[in-house]
Amino acid sequence: MSFKRFTTPLTFLGDKLGDIPDTAALTAYEHWWAVQGQAVSEAVDSTGTPWLRMFNRAGSRIDEICYPPDYWAMLRKGYREGIISSVFEQNSVLPFYRLGYITAFHDPGLYCPYTVSLATAVPLEKYGSEALKARFLPHLLRTDDEVWQGATWMTEIKGGSDLGANVETIARNQGDHWCLSGDKYFASNIGAELAVVAARPEGATQDVRGLTLFLLPRLKENGELNYTVRRLKDKIATRSVPTGEVELRDSEAWLLGTHEQGVYLILEVLNISRVANSIASVALAQRAIAEATDFARQRRAFGKAIIEHPLLQQQFHERHHGLQAAMALACKAAWMLDEVWRQTPPYNDRYHLFRLLAHLAKYWTAEFAAQTCKWAMEVHGGLGVLAEYPVERWFRESMILSIWEGTAHRQILDGLEVMQRKAAHKGLFEALRPTADPHALAEIEARIERHLELAEDEQEARAEKLFHDLARFSAETFLTQSQVR
């Protein structure tokens, strides 16, 4: 097998996310990463977490997130390339995922600021009032150094999986705006100028339907801080996105959509990020495989390069195949999102199919990335665990992918829910049918139908194997489709 096309992100990405209108621009972006961005990214990772300057010398609270200056050049590069603006110019999310793939290949953590910026811009553009859009949206769409960033803050200290029970941030109506009070425990891209935030309007029910999405600027109109940062998190990886804790105290915010739409808007935000997480997972897996390939070609044992030994060669073949299947599933989710991202509730069946695909892709690709990075470490032997070589970092980076934007448990259970309540599996099977093995398809269809008849507790208890098999089957079948296209 020739591994050549697996060594750089663009050679592998090809046209899987649509015809690339300007190949030269993407090639130049990839080249920039190779000759400049990568070194900055490595320096940021090895110096550890960014730090927080809470006060200026005059004693005023400023809550500035401090990084080396090169960090900002690396971060702004993506905005300059139009990673956010092109989505609205081209009315398509695919340019975002293409640029994201190249970014994540070099720095998976850095894809997070772009992802949460898009996940802020989209609900603002879809659900914000005209006045709100005119005031804030142009800042997010800039491609120069003045660009604003977004952030998506839902999780609080009591837990992120069950937002309905655990969001305690309260929103009080003040006429034309709202005041939010509460604490957000995991707030990534914490220096962002705007955030979308889940909060509960006073008197709303104590469940997920009681939640509403608000737009929260970092500064009030008078220039004062709108909230404070309690501290930054010290993390094992994703150090190129600062994550911290935010204290909201009568912080000015604006409602997005209606209160009744709140939970749907929160899920829209999460689903944009889940697809990005899938794309980043595949990019990271490709990177780890590329690293392992390089190493295995030059490392010798028992008289030949280790890649020549049959056992390892077989593993390389399986990893390359798995990578292509994971990519096929991630791309299918991105294509589906591209079809439905403009929908508003109530959604149609295509949207529900997208939700199922997003859960399958997030679950499958994150697991594949983690396993692949662990395997790439093993291929390096003892050198794999040394911080001086890249594969150790890729392993650390992979650990977050199955946790944020909802853990694997969440993807499985929400995937079950969209099958149970919206019959999304029927649309999935129709999408798979043209190239699926008919016997295998009939078997998994029957398994799903039987499963959905079980009592609720039993459904959950037995869900993992079924969801795993469905994800694998979908990934393999979409890979076949992409090959016959």
Ligand X SMILES: Cc1cc2nc3c(=O)[nH]c(=O)nc-3n(C[C@H](O)[C@H](O)[C@H](O)COP(=O)(O)OP(=O)(O)OC[C@H]3O[C@@H](n4cnc5c(N)ncnc54)[C@H](O)[C@@H]3O)c2cc1C
| Cα–Cα distance, 153 to 143 (Å, whole number) | 24
Neighbouring residues of 349: CB distance < 8 A, sequence distance ≥ 6: 422, 424, 427
463 near ligand X (CB under 6 A) = no
Q: Which of 14, 48, 68, 159 binds ligand X (CB under 6 A)?
A: 159
Residue 211 CB, shortest distance to ligand X, in Å, is 12
Nearest to 414 by CA among 282, 263, 284, 280: 263
Residue 187 CB, shortest distance to ligand X, in Å, is 5
Q: Which is nearer to ligand X, 187 or 285 (CB)?
A: 187
Element (H, E) at 329: helix 310-340
For residue 298 the two structure tokens come to: 């030059």
Q: Which residue's structure tokens are 């662990």?
A: 374
| Cα–Cα distance, 111 to 103 (Å, whole number) | 6
| Cα–Cα distance, 426 to 352 (Å, whole number) | 10
Q: Which of 41, 120, 152, 277 binds ligand X (CB under 6 A)?
A: 152
Q: Which is nearer to ligand X, 410 or 472 (CB)?
A: 410
Q: Which is nearer to ligand X, 78 or 82 (CB)?
A: 78
409 near ligand X (CB under 6 A) = yes
| Cα–Cα distance, 370 to 178 (Å, whole number) | 41
Q: Which is nearer to ligand X, 405 or 476 (CB)?
A: 405
Residue 15 DSSP one-character state: T
Q: Which is nearer to ligand X, 85 or 117 (CB)?
A: 117
Considering only the stretches 37-45, 98-106, 154-162, 277-285, report the one whose residues sit in contact with ligand X under the rule CB under 6 A. 154-162
SS3 59: coil
For residue 68 the two structure tokens come to: 């080396």
Q: Which of 12, 71, 148, 153 binds ligand X (CB under 6 A)?
A: 153
Check: CB of residue 224 under 8 Å from CB of residue 218: no
139 near ligand X (CB under 6 A) = no
Taking the mean position of all CA atoms in its chain, how far away is CA 425? 23
Q: Which is nearer to ligand X, 383 or 403 (CB)?
A: 403
For residue 55 the two structure tokens come to: 């006060």
Cα end-to-end distance, the chain, whole Å: 21
| Cα–Cα distance, 49 to 226 (Å, whole number) | 24
Neighbouring residues of 50: CB distance < 8 A, sequence distance ≥ 6: 65, 66, 67, 71, 232, 239, 242
Q: Which is nearer to ligand X, 263 or 296 (CB)?
A: 263
Considering only the stretches 149-157, 310-318, 418-426, 430-438, report the one whose residues sit in contact with ligand X under the rule CB under 6 A. 149-157
Residue 404 CB, shortest distance to ligand X, in Å, is 4
101 near ligand X (CB under 6 A) = no
For residue 423 the two structure tokens come to: 């019959």
Residue nearest to ligand X (CB): 160
Residue 319 CB, shortest distance to ligand X, in Å, is 26
Q: How many CB atoms lie within 10 A of CB 184?
A: 27
Considering only the stretches 58-66, 125-133, 146-154, 289-297, report the one whose residues sit in contact with ligand X under the rule CB under 6 A. 146-154
Q: Which of 143, 161, 343, 482 binds ligand X (CB under 6 A)?
A: 161
113 near ligand X (CB under 6 A) = no
406 near ligand X (CB under 6 A) = yes
Q: Which of residues 243-272 bind ligand X (CB under 6 A)?
A: 243
Residue 326 CB, shortest distance to ligand X, in Å, is 21
Q: Is the dihedral of CA 311, 315, 317, 318 positive or negative?
A: positive
Residue 198 CB, shortest distance to ligand X, in Å, is 8
Residue 155 CB, shortest distance to ligand X, in Å, is 3
293 near ligand X (CB under 6 A) = no
Nearest to 333 by CA among 279, 283, 280, 287: 279
280 near ligand X (CB under 6 A) = no
| Cα–Cα distance, 272 to 279 (Å, whole number) | 11
Question: Within 13 Å, how many C-alpha atoms sit on residue 429's CB side?
Answer: 17
Residue 109 CB, shortest distance to ligand X, in Å, is 9
Element (H, E) at 76: helix 69-80
Q: Which of 155, 169, 286, 474 binds ligand X (CB under 6 A)?
A: 155
Counting every residue written for the chain, the total comes to 485
Q: Which is nearer to ligand X, 275 or 436 (CB)?
A: 275
Element (H, E) at 339: helix 310-340
**Interstrand relation of 194-201 and 170-173 (parallel, antiparallel or unpaired):** parallel
141 near ligand X (CB under 6 A) = no
398 near ligand X (CB under 6 A) = no
Please give the size of the binding site for ligand X, defined by CB under 6 A.
Answer: 21
Q: Which of residues 184-243 bind ligand X (CB under 6 A)?
A: 186-188, 235, 238, 243
**Per-residue x/- marks for ligand X, 313-342, CB under 6 A?**
------------------------------
Q: Which residues bind ligand X (CB under 6 A)?
A: 152-155, 159-161, 186-188, 235, 238, 243, 400, 403-404, 406-407, 409-410, 413
